[in-house]
């Protein structure tokens, strides 16, 4: 079976899961965080080398203040609980997005976790936090404009390969497979540059319920697809 080198996931359905179980929204987010830990294990087990998770979008800042506060606290508690496990399992943590928008405590936890796992080479876990695909492209364009204005780059040098170097994590390969849970069928401003030729897989399963069997179904579907990249 052909296994994707890089899977990107839009983790959708925490709120609906909580509603279905008669629980407050924060319980759905906590259940979703536990799924993150399991999915990292599943991906490593099945030979995936890179995983990007849409953890918190730039639009999510518009959610109720208490929900945002809870999500930020969940980020730091998740890292506090599992960073040792990630380190021991060869996981290298990365983060993409406008991280300067994060509260100082969460940003400090995140940067410490990134530093702690920097030497790991077995598996890349990328958390997209305070992230938006359009924002990433705009930020890359702004950086290039500064280089041109400073005379360090000529406009004639700009092509797709050069532009890619100014994205948040140019060292991470583009996703082969994008998975979105909960039955929604849209991209939601996620990795707009990187998913140009990604296979897309939608499932009705809510994120907290996403199991190893659900991942295997996605991998089976991926292996059946013919990736032509526009060549024929």
Catalytic residues: 12, 60
List b or e across 171-209, with b for residues whose CB sees 16 or more CB atoms inside 10 angstroms: ebebbbbbbbbbeeeebebbbebbbeebbebbbebbbbb
Q: What is the side-by-side strand order in the sheet with 123-131?
A: 91-96, 123-131, 50-57, 6-10, 177-180, 199-202
Classify 94 in phi/psi space as left (phi over 0), alpha (psi -120 to 50) or beta.
beta
Quote the CA–CA distance of 206 and 173 in Å, as a whole number.
Answer: 27
Q: Is 111 exposed, middle or buried (0-12, 13-18, 19+ CB in 10 A)?
A: middle
Provide φ and ψ at 103, rounded to 5°. -55, 150
Q: Read off the tokens for 204.
A: 């009705």
Provide φ and ψ at 12, rounded to 5°. -115, 145
Residue position matching structure tokens 């295997």: 216
- DSSP 8-state code for residue 170: T
């Amino acid at each position: 079976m052909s296994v994707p080198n890089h899977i990107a996931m839009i983790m959708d359905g925490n709120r609906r899961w909580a509603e279905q179980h008669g629980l407050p929204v924060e319980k759905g987010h906590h259940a979703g965080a536990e799924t993150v830990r399991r999915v990292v294990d599943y991906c490593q087990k099945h030979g995936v080398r890179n995983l990007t998770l849409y953890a918190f979008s730039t639009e999510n800042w518009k959610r109720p203040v208490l929900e945002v506060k809870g999500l930020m606290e969940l980020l730091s508690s998740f890292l506090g609980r599992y960073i040792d496990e990630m380190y021991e399992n060869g996981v290298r943590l990365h983060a993409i997005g406008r991280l300067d928008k994060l509260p100082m405590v969460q940003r400090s936890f995140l940067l410490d976790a990134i530093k702690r796992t920097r030497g790991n080479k077995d598996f890349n876990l990328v958390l997209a936090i305070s992230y938006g695909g359009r924002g990433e492209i705009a930020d890359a364009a702004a950086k290039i404009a500064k280089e041109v204005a400073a005379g360090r780059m000529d406009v004639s040098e700009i092509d797709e390969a050069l532009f890619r170097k100014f994205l948040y994590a140019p060292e991470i390969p583009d996703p082969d497979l994008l998975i979105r849970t909960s039955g929604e069928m849209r991209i939601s401003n996620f990795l707009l540059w990187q998913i140009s030729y990604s296979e897309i897989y939608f499932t009705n399963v809510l994120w907290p319920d996403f199991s190893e069997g659900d991942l295997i179904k996605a991998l089976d579907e991926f292996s059946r697809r013919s990736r032509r990249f526009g060549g024929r």
